Structure 1
C-alpha cells in the first residue's frame, strides 16, 4: 500500500539520510519526498512510501520518530501515485469536455492531495456536486473560507476550501476538500489548488477541445 507521512525534522546535513535509513530498515520504499517548508532550522517534508510490512502505519510512524529531533506529524494512506501526473490528466479531461468541468474537477481532486472526498457548494451552503465518498447531510455554510480550515463531522476532519471559477453558471461556488486520517492541509497544498483552479478556468473560458 501507499502511505504518506508528514515529517518535521531538523534542517541540517545528514538528518534526511537518517530518516531515509529508518524507512529502509523497516522495508519501506521511499517513492517521493516533497519539501513543504524550511524555516528557523527545521523542515517539514511529505514522504510517500510503498509499504507492505506487518507494522501498522502508527507503528511505522513511531519508529521513524526515533531519529533525534524528528517528529512524524501524521501517517495516512494515499491514492496519489508519484510520477502519475494526475494534475495533467485532470486538465486533459477538462479540455476534452469543458461542459463537464465541474464534475470532473470535484471527482478528481481528492486523489490530487491525498484527501477522502470533495464537494462543490454554493454560497448558501447547498451541495451542487460531490465525489462518491462525500457525505450528503452536512451544513457547508461555515466552511467557505479562502484558507485551510477544520470542522468536525464524525471526528476531526481537515478541510481545504477555495472559491471555484464559474464552471456551471454559478459564480459563487466553493470547492471543499476533506481528509480525515491525515494532517491539516498545508499552505503548499492550498496554493496548488488555487493554481489548478486558475488553469481550469482558462480551459473552460477558452473552450479548448482536445
Structure 2
C-alpha cells in the first residue's frame, strides 16, 4: 500500500539519512520526499512510502521517533503515485478540453494533494455544481469557509482547502491525515490560477 507520512525533524545534516534508515528497518520503501517547510532549525517533510502493512500507525510513529528530534505528525493513505506527472496530466487534459476545465480540475485535484474529495461550489447560490466521485452531496458546514479568499480550515478531523475560481470556489477535503499545509494551499491555488487562464483563453478564442 502507499502511505504518506508527515514528519517534523531537525534541519541538520544526517538526520534525513537516519529517518530513511528507520524506514528501511521497517521494510518501508521511500518513493518520494516533499519538503514542505524549513524554518527555525526544523524541517517538515512528507514521505510517500510503499509499505507492507506489518506495523500499525502508532508503531510507525514510535519507530521513527528513535531518531533524536524526529516526530511523525500524521500517517494516512495516498493515491498519489510517485514518478508520475499528475499536475502535467491535469493541465494537458484542460488544454485539450478547456470547456471542461473546472470539471477536470475537481476530478483530479484530490489525488494531487492526497485528499479525499473535491467540490466546485457556485459562489452565488452555494450549490455544488460538480463533485469528485467520493464527495458528499452537500459541503459540510465549517466556520470561516468563504468563497472570497484562499484558505485552509479544520473542523475536528475534517480538513479543507477553499480557493476562489471564476464565479465558483473549489473545496478540497481530507478526513484521513493532517490539516493542509500552506505549501499544499499554494499548490492548489496555483493550479486553479493556471486552469482559469486556460479556460478564459478558450472563451476568448471562441
The residue that corresponds to 1:159 in the other structure is: 160
The residue that corresponds to 2:191 in the other structure is: 196
The answer as to whether partners of 1:157 and 1:178 remain within 8 angstroms in 2 is: yes
User: CA deviation digits over 1:49-79, x for unaligned, max 9?
Assistant: 1101411233222211221111100010000
The residue that corresponds to 2:89 in the other structure is: 89
The residue that corresponds to 1:120 in the other structure is: 120
TM-score (norm 1): 0.89
The residue that corresponds to 1:185 in the other structure is: 180
Q: How does 1:1-210 map to 2 (within 5 A)?
A: 1-123=1-123, 124-139=125-140, 142-144=144-146, 145-152=149-156, 156-164=157-165, 166=166, 171=167, 173-207=168-202
User: CA deviation digits over 1:4-32, x for unaligned, max 9?
Assistant: 00000011111111100000001100111
Secondary structure of the structure 1 residue equivalent to 2:31? strand
| In structure 1, C-alpha distance between the alignment counterparts of 2:62 and 2:103, rounded to whole Å | 39
The answer as to whether partners of 1:27 and 1:53 remain within 8 angstroms in 2 is: no
Secondary structure of the structure 2 residue equivalent to 1:200? helix
| In structure 1, C-alpha distance between the alignment counterparts of 2:70 and 2:114, rounded to whole Å | 22
The answer as to whether partners of 1:6 and 1:45 remain within 8 angstroms in 2 is: yes
| In structure 1, C-alpha distance between the alignment counterparts of 2:88 and 2:29, rounded to whole Å | 25
Structure 2 unaligned blocks of 5 or more? none
Task: Quote the RMSD (CA, aligned, Å).
Answer: 1.8
Secondary structure of the structure 2 residue equivalent to 1:90? helix
> How many residue pairs align between the two structures?
200
The answer as to whether partners of 1:126 and 1:140 remain within 8 angstroms in 2 is: no
| In structure 2, C-alpha distance between the alignment counterparts of 1:140 and 1:107, rounded to whole Å | 21
TM-score (norm 2): 0.91
Structure 1 unaligned blocks of 5 or more? none
| In structure 2, C-alpha distance between the alignment counterparts of 1:202 and 1:15, rounded to whole Å | 41
With over 3 angstroms needed to count, the CA separation of the structure-2 counterparts of 1:125 and 1:92, relative to structure 1, is same
